[in-house]
Amino acid sequence: MKNQTYRMTMLFDFYGELLTERQKEFFDLYYNEDLSLAEIAENAGISRQCLFQDMDDETWDRFFAVNVNGAKNTIQAVLPHMLSEKAGCIVNLSSIWGLRGASCEVAYAATKAALVGLTRSLALELAPSHIRVNAVAPGCIETDMVRMLGPETRDLLIEETPLGRLGTPEDIAHAVAFLASDKASFLTGQILTADGGFTV
């Protein structure tokens, strides 16, 4: 409970008035009503799957506001300190769908592809200041959202993953930690795919 309160406080402190009333409602459902992300998404009618021709501007803009502008705003918030120190490391979270594309998830895939471009371009721009910029591209991860797809889809994803299992949030955390560590001090502009061989 302490960690949840801390994370929630950080989110509110960072985003402040940028959170809409609807977003605050979702936070309340997750942290206070103990609903899973899948339950919240189902109740709210949130889905990233639709045909491109059926996607409205509001949905398209929301994907870019969260996935691309969110990364931009976060990086710009910490960059002055990194530039003054002439040191730093940025790790973005992309997705395998940003690398290979995804039918019926065009907006999501487009935003994750944009993060790949952002990562590689920033890596070149910030290298003279000794700031490294990389990204992790997760594959199919064992989350509430995947479980919401149903057992048949989950089993199919496992079958299509050469390592024979879905990834875990810990797998992605380890990848991020590696890129942020001194062991990756000569890596910049790289997209680390953590997908159990899914895209091979």
Q: What are the extents of the domains in the chain?
A: 75-194
Is 15 considered catalytic here? Answer: no
**Per-residue confidence (pLDDT) for residue 103, from 0 to 100:** 87
**Per-residue confidence (pLDDT) for residue 184, from 0 to 100:** 97
CB 105 within 8 A of CB 145: no
Instruction: Tell me which CATH code domain 75-194 carries.
Output: 3.40.50.720
More confident residue, 144 or 192: 192
Sheet holding 191-194, edge to edge: 88-93, 131-138, 191-194
Spot the catalytic one: 15, 30, 31, 108.
108
Which range among 4-8, 18-22, 26-30, 88-92 shows the weakest confidence by mean pLDDT? 4-8
Q: Residue with structure tokens 């997705």?
A: 95
Average pLDDT of the chain is 82
**Per-residue confidence (pLDDT) for residue 84, from 0 to 100:** 96
Which range among 2-11, 126-135, 157-166, 178-187 shows the weakest confidence by mean pLDDT? 2-11
What is the C-alpha to C-alpha distance for residues 141 and 4, in angstroms, rounded to an integer? 21
**Per-residue confidence (pLDDT) for residue 26, from 0 to 100:** 56
Can you say how many angstroms the Cα of residue 167 is from the centroid of all Cα atoms in its chain?
Answer: 14
The alpha-carbon radius of gyration of the chain (Å, integer) is 18
